[in-house]
Structure 1
Amino acid sequence: MAAALAACASTTSPGAVDVDRRQLLIVPAEQVEQMARVSFNEQNDKARAAGKLVTQGPEYERVRNIAARLQQQAPVFRPDAAQWKWELALIDSPELNASCAPGGKITVYTGIMRTLHLTDDELAMVIGHEVAHALREHGRERVSQAMAQNLLGSVVFGALQTSEAQAKMAGQVADVLLTLPNSRKNETEADKIGLELAARAGFNPAAAVSVWQKMAAASTGARPPEFLSTHPAHDSRIAELTAMQAAVVPLYEAAR
């Protein structure tokens, strides 16, 4: 219990949106980032083998430019993000999904751009939201919670010496990082920080409302988008994003 209490900290500065919650972080960041990197590389290898990994062209440049502008603002919330080894993967797939693994490993699927006809401002809100999860280390927090609950207790992180062991652990960690849903509290934090990141980067914060309206509309079918399986879109969320506008509009106007 003493070790767990000592491991509680807030991973980011509050920012204008005032996110300041202490988190349980009993797993070293380096080890979570290592496993996330293994999983990210495996994902990209599979996409490349299938001819689905996009590395050039208008769509790739569009995503790369938006991500780069957001990355420039990341040190506002945590200075060490300036030294992260940021990477971007654009995957040609109809999935309506995006993510950002620990350490700044961004993945965007073309389906979310094409199907929802996202503007640059809206796409920035989606990527900013995912980057915010990485900045807040929500993935590391979930892995720590899983460790505390003994869900990952069968594997000792420090014993991962072989590539086979790393791959096995990466799969287990990926389940926690990418499959298990974020808590409502984590989602609200990502909404807030992502919104401020995008506003500081010069993207219209009003797009945070319109993009989630599109998400909500897309979820009315028989099969809701995968993106919404861990990112619930409710009227209350849109209302919260609307209420946040006053805090970030001045930042957007200053960036312009």
Structure 2
Amino acid sequence: MYRAGLSLLVAATLAGCVETTTVPSAPVTAPVSRSSGPGLTTTDFQRVVSRVEPVAERQCRREAQEANCDFKIVLETDPRAPSNAWQTLDDRGRPVLTFTSALLKDVQNDDELAFIMGHEAAHHISGHISRTQQTALTGAILGGILVSAMGGDANAVSSARDIGATVGARRYSKDYELEADRLGTVISYHAGYDPLRGAAYFTRIPDPGDQFLGSHPPNGQRIETVRRTMATL
């Protein structure tokens, strides 16, 4: 049961990589259609998927040879779902990238959607779910041991485990987001999109700032990561 709770915590930590509240050139192997916003359609979504998915799967096989690299990319059409995208695993360990229809309304062009898609695929390629689960479990164990050694009762130990798991899950969260931005840049670039144009998405969403144990780094740092990565490409 506790491991199940940790899995939910990890999912919450890595979910919302591009969660938003709406507020008011690379060489290619074939011509790329780039819709210009605001908002994309389901046809636009499928077009971007058709270009990004094979590149992400090749990158996955190259960097994470023992991982399941058969990506499933889906659109959540529930109108109540907020603007968001996230990566999870299904019961068979297949990586699933989910995008809400509200997010399609927020992005302004194919480049932004492709960058976000590459970012989410990068979380799987880099093994961020399993790495976060491990640090969360370590934090929970250490928290429980510490409070137990200090004479805490069962409730205090349970609370300490919860706090330790949260701290553990968040310990490297910002680093993982920047890692995913770097690899997402590579993926979207090789899919024929412009990651710099895609990263302009960060200029329109609320900036989380550099919060202690925050789940996401400042938007400016993410854009700079894309710029530095592009310089190597």
TM bracket, shorter-chain basis: 0.5 to 0.7
Question: Compared with structure 1, are the counterparts of its residues 230 and 96 closer, same or farther at alpha carbon in structure 2 (3 Å cutoff)?
Answer: farther
Q: In the alignment, is residue 218 of structure 1 matched against residue 201 of structure 2?
A: no
Q: CA deviation at 1:132?
A: 0.7
Preserved contact between residue 208 and residue 241 of structure 1 (Cα < 8 Å): no
Give me the whole-angstrom Cα distance separating, in 2, the residues matched to 1:120 and 1:70.
16
Q: Write the deviation string for residues 187-214 of structure 1: whole angstroms up to 9, x where unpaired.
A: 111111111111122222322432222x
Q: Where does 1:124-143 land on structure 2 (aligned, <5 Å)?
A: 124-143=114-133
Q: CA deviation at 1:131?
A: 0.9
Secondary structure at 1:212 match in 2: helix
Q: Where does 1:159-174 land on structure 2 (aligned, <5 Å)?
A: none
Preserved contact between residue 52 and residue 191 of structure 2 (Cα < 8 Å): no
Q: In the alignment, is residue 77 of structure 1 matched against residue 68 of structure 2?
A: no
Q: Between the two proteins, what is the percent identity of the paired residues?
A: 21
| Aligned pairs, number | 165
Give me the whole-angstrom Cα distance separating, in 1, the residues matched to 2:221 and 2:70.
35
Question: Compared with structure 1, are the counterparts of its residues 241 and 149 closer, same or farther at alpha carbon in structure 2 (3 Å cutoff)?
Answer: same
Give me the whole-angstrom Cα distance separating, in 2, the residues matched to 1:64 and 1:205.
15
Q: CA deviation at 1:66?
A: 4.0
Give me the whole-angstrom Cα distance separating, in 2, the residues matched to 1:64 and 1:106.
10
Give me the whole-angstrom Cα distance separating, in 1, the residues matched to 2:46 and 2:198.
22
Q: In the alignment, is residue 99 of structure 1 matched against residue 90 of structure 2?
A: no
Q: CA deviation at 1:105?
A: 1.0
Unmatched runs of 5 consecutive residues or more in structure 1: 1-30, 40-56, 155-171, 221-228, 249-256
RCO (CA 8 Å, sep 6+): is it higher in 1 or 2?
A: 2
Find the partner of 2:75 among 90, 93, 96: 90
Q: CA deviation at 1:181?
A: 8.5
Give me the whole-angstrom Cα distance separating, in 2, the residues matched to 1:145 and 1:247.
31
Unmatched runs of 5 consecutive residues or more in structure 2: 12-41, 145-161, 208-213
Give me the whole-angstrom Cα distance separating, in 2, the residues matched to 1:186 and 1:180.
10
Secondary structure at 1:95 match in 2: coil
Secondary structure at 2:193 match in 1: coil
In structure 1, the residue matched to 2:210 is none
Secondary structure at 2:187 match in 1: helix
Question: Compared with structure 1, are the counterparts of its residues 113 and 180 closer, same or farther at alpha carbon in structure 2 (3 Å cutoff)?
Answer: farther
Question: Compared with structure 1, are the counterparts of its residues 230 and 109 closer, same or farther at alpha carbon in structure 2 (3 Å cutoff)?
Answer: farther
Q: TM-score, normalised by structure 2?
A: 0.57
Preserved contact between residue 73 and residue 200 of structure 1 (Cα < 8 Å): no
Secondary structure at 1:84 match in 2: coil
Which one-letter code corresponds to 1:76 in the other structure?
Answer: R
Give me the whole-angstrom Cα distance separating, in 2, the residues matched to 1:181 and 1:113.
30
Q: CA deviation at 1:238?
A: 1.7
Q: Which has the larger radius of gyration?
A: 2
Give me the whole-angstrom Cα distance separating, in 1, the residues matched to 2:76 and 2:172.
23
Q: Where does 1:28-43 land on structure 2 (aligned, <5 Å)?
A: none
Superposed CA RMSD: 3.6
Q: CA deviation at 1:58?
A: 1.9
Give me the whole-angstrom Cα distance separating, in 2, the residues matched to 1:71 and 1:114.
24
Which one-letter code corresponds to 1:109 in the other structure?
Answer: T
Secondary structure at 1:106 match in 2: strand
Q: In the alignment, is residue 187 of structure 1 matched against residue 173 of structure 2?
A: no
Which one-letter code corresponds to 1:124 in the other structure?
Answer: A
Give me the whole-angstrom Cα distance separating, in 2, the residues matched to 1:70 and 1:96.
25
Find the partner of 1:148 among 132, 138, 143: 138
Which one-letter code corresponds to 2:180 in the other structure?
Answer: A
Preserved contact between residue 185 and residue 195 of structure 2 (Cα < 8 Å): yes
